[in-house]
Amino acid sequence: MSLSSHLQELKKKHQSLSSTVEQMQRSPGADGLHMAELKKQKLRLKEEITRLSGRPH
């Protein structure tokens, strides 16, 4: 897998997690622990995208 296609895949996963978190935030009674874990995954993906892109934080 090329770097650009890998980055595209990471961006897709990040966007998917963003959508999921947004939906959970609108839902009463959403599982706070699950949402926190999704946010951590989202942050890790963003850090990986930034690292692979060669852009400074």
Separation of alpha carbons 20 and 35, rounded Å: 9
- pLDDT score at 1: 77
- pLDDT score at 57: 52
- pLDDT score at 40: 98
The tens digit of pLDDT for each residue in 20-48 reads: 999 999 998 889 999 999 999 999 999 99
pTM of the model: 0.83
Query: How deeply is 45 buried, as exposed, middle or buried, from its count of CB atoms within 10 A (0-12, 13-18, 19+)?
Result: buried
Residue 26 CA to its chain's centroid (Å): 18
- Answer whether residue 11 shows pLDDT above 70: yes
